[in-house]
């Protein structure tokens, strides 16, 4: 049911009626998907309240206590005639108008909503629309352009021929599940270039059809950013919270967010497009010669006593595992959470579908081996992606099939049950606890028949050199024992034996 507009309410000046619902697309443009390191197999959506609508020329207040207010210039579709169960071929006929939109959001408020986006994108004024409506009947939906300017500087520009899904697909897909009514608005996603803005900044968005006769345009949708000073009440709900991951996503890159670069980021493309430490060939060669037992001893000598992943056994004991960590975290099974997060192209599948060459997928399953955390299909995908292996403190399903596929794996054992019996795939590229050790994305993972160790990249070279030196010394000691020397004074070496060893090294 649509509602007439109050002429005095300028928020809805660009719309034919008050929208019953505003539906926004998560990821739509290839440029944005590649920036985020994932390409969805199908569209996904979230709702924004009608009270978030604003017109052009207004002021938007950044909530008190927040820092990461981000703009997202988008093309808005306004439904002209109701759509329910319409085909892809019919869908565009139900779009009445096209205009510009800005899908503002505050990353500081994302953490506790887990994808609903209610608080971070539903604030009053966070959906400016307008200023002019373009007649959809006169437009080619594959030839539209969206541009965004920040204080007059072009920040975003893309065209609908680069969309992962055509505009009409959003209408047809949504109509399978609900009735799109006259005046409903679909925000069709933002391209790369979204970033953070602060008080005093002006953001402008324009949608046009540059190749159409007369080059029709929505005009520039202008929004000025201000600062709210009304604090949140901690007794009522969660407070704003940010970390470097949110800063990087909000700004669009670590550099733009003012964060220090990640070691090896020049090789990020080889790691699946994500900034991540990448092992050099020389480092890999040295790690091949460095046993896990020796690496563990070197870490302990440096004061790092909690770098062993306990209780996990190799599927192929004769193989050595060397790689950098990409992480996946499961939370305990709960039916409602699995319904929301366990199906479709969930986080688990995203990780296996995007793992980079030479990376190790490290899975936090809380040591619960009561269900599989991967099976043969995902193992096959990881192998084809060039993954170094998988480490999980849960179980592996289809154990023999995974072994035949040849993916190097460490686990807590085998289990025939599927994931949902014990786990919900929750998030990725975060710190995880696996086998009692903390593993960060980009940490170095080394495994052999003795077990597994995690090495912080910052100390890798130091630890490896110390390990290889210790191995050489232990081999020399073993040779002396084989010659009949007594252990006392030799292992560990007293001063006399140290002098003999030093002389041997000089002569060698």
Exposure pattern of 90-126 as b/e (b: 16+ CB <10 Å)? ebbebbbbbbbbbbbbbbbbbbeeeeebebbbbbebb
pTM tops 0.85, yes or no: no
Q: Give the count of beta carbons closer than 10 Å to the beta carbon of residue 281.
A: 7
Distance of CA 139 to the CA centre of its chain: 35
Q: What backbone phi and psi angles, to 5 degrees, belong to 394?
A: -110, -160
267 is in an annotated binding site: no
Report the sign of the C-alpha dihedral through residues 101, 106, 109, 110, in that order: positive
Please list the helix, strand and coil fractions of the chain in percent, rounded to the nearest 5, in that order: 30, 25, 45
Phi-psi region of 188 (alpha: psi -120 to 50; beta: other; left: phi over 0): alpha
Tokens 């005639």 belong to: 81
- 3-state DSSP call for residue 408? coil
CA distance 410 to 392: 6
Tokens of 255: 């550099």
- Going along the chain from its start, the domains and CATH numbers come out as 10-230+240-251 (3.90.850.10), 281-460 (3.50.30.40), 469-507 (no CATH)
H or E element in which residue 118 lies: helix 118-121
Which residues lie across from 453 on neighbouring strands? 308, 446
- Nearest-10 crossing angle of helices 292-301, 460-482: 120
Distance of CA 14 to the CA centre of its chain: 35
CB of 55 closer than 8 Å to CB of 10: yes
Beta-carbon contacts of residue 460 (< 8 Å; ≥ 6 apart): 283, 444
Q: Could you read off the pLDDT of 66-109 as tens digits, one per residue? A: 999 999 999 999 999 999 999 999 999 999 999 999 999 999 88
Q: Could you read off the pLDDT of 353-389 as tens digits, one per residue? A: 989 889 999 999 999 999 999 999 999 999 999 999 9
- pLDDT of res. 4: 52
Q: What backbone phi and psi angles, to 5 degrees, belong to 493?
A: -75, 135
What tens-digit pLDDT sequence spans the chain (508 residues)? Answer: 444 555 546 778 888 898 999 999 999 999 998 877 778 888 999 999 999 999 999 999 999 989 999 999 999 999 999 999 999 999 999 999 999 999 999 998 887 776 688 999 999 999 999 999 999 999 999 999 999 999 999 999 999 999 999 999 999 999 999 999 999 999 999 999 999 999 999 999 999 999 999 999 999 999 999 999 998 888 887 788 877 778 888 898 877 888 766 544 433 433 344 456 788 888 999 999 999 999 999 999 999 999 999 999 999 999 999 999 999 999 999 998 988 888 888 899 999 998 988 999 999 999 999 999 999 999 999 999 999 999 999 999 999 999 999 999 999 999 999 988 999 999 999 999 999 999 999 999 999 999 999 999 989 999 999 999 888 888 888 888 999 989 988 888 888 888 888 888 888 7
Which residues lie across from 361 on neighbouring strands? 326, 390
- pLDDT of res. 501: 85
Tokens 């999980």 belong to: 392
Beta-carbon contacts of residue 304 (< 8 Å; ≥ 6 apart): 456, 459
Tokens 């090294």 belong to: 505
DSSP structural state of residue 15? S
- Single out the residue of 145, 157, 269, 150 nearest to residue 207, CA to CA: 145
193 is in an annotated binding site: no
- Single out the residue of 115, 105, 103 nearest to residue 191, CA to CA: 103
375 is in an annotated binding site: yes
CA distance 402 to 362: 16
398 is in an annotated binding site: yes
CA distance 172 to 246: 33
DSSP alpha helix (H) spans, 386-494: 399-405, 460-482
161 is in an annotated binding site: no
443 is in an annotated binding site: no
């Amino acid at each position: 049911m649509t509602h007439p507009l109050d002429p005095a309410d300028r928020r809805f000046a660009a719309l034919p009626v008050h929208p019953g619902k505003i539906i926004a697309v998560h990821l739509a443009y290839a440029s944005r998907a590649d920036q985020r390191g994932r390409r969805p197999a199908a569209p996904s959506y979230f709702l924004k309240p009608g009270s978030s609508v604003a017109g052009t020329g207004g002021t938007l207040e950044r909530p008190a206590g927040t820092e990461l207010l981000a703009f997202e210039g988008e093309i808005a579709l306004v439904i002209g005639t109701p759509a329910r169960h319409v085909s892809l071929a019919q869908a565009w006929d139900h779009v009445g108008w096209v205009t510009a939109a800005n899908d503002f959001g505050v990353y500081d408020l994302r953490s506790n909503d887990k994808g609903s986006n209610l608080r971070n994108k539903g604030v009053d004024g966070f959906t400016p629309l307008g200023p002019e409506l373009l007649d959809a009947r006169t437009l080619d939906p594959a030839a539209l352009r969206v541009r965004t300017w920040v204080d007059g500087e072009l920040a975003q520009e893309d065209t609908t021929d680069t969309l992962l899904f055509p505009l009409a697909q959003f209408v047809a897909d949504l109509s399978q599940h609900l009735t799109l009514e006259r005046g409903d608005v679909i925000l069709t996603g933002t391209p790369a270039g979204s970033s953070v803005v602060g008080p005093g900044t002006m953001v402008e968005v324009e949608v046009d059809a540059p190749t159409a006769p007369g080059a029709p345009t929505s005009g520039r949708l202008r929004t000025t950013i201000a600062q709210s000073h009304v604090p949140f009440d901690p007794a009522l709900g969660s407070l704003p919270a940010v970390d470097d991951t949110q800063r990087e996503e909000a700004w669009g890159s670590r550099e733009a967010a003012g964060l220090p670069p990640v070691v090896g980021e020049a090789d990020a493309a080889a790691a699946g497009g994500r900034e991540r430490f990448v092992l050099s060939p020389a480092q890999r060669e040295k790690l091949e010669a460095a046993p896990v037992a020796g690496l563990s001893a070197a870490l302990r000598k440096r004061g790092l006593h909690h770098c062993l992943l306990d209780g996990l056994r190799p599927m192929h004991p004769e193989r050595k595992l060397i790689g950098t960590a990409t992480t996946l975290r499961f939370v305990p099974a709960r039916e409602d959470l699995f319904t929301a997060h366990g199906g479709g192209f969930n986080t688990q599948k995203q990780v296996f579908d995007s793992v980079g060459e030479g990376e190790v997928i490290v899975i936090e399953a809380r040591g619960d081996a009561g269900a599989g955390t991967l099976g043969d299909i995902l193992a096959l995908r990881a192998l084809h992606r060039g993954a170094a292996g998988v480490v999980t403190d849960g179980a592996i399903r289809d154990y023999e099939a995974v072994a035949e596929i040849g993916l190097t794996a460490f686990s807590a054992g085998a289990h025939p049950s599927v994931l949902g019996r014990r786990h919900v795939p929750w998030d990725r590229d975060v710190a995880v606890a696996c086998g009692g050790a903390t593993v960060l994305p980009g940490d170095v993972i080394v495994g052999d028949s003795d077990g597994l160790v995690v090495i912080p990249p910052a100390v890798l070279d130091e630890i490896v050199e110390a390990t290889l030196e210790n191995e050489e010394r232990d081999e020399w000691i073993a040779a002396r024992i084989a010659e009949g020397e007594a252990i006392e004074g030799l292992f560990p070496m007293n001063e006399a034996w140290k002098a003999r060893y030093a002389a041997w090294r000089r002569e060698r």
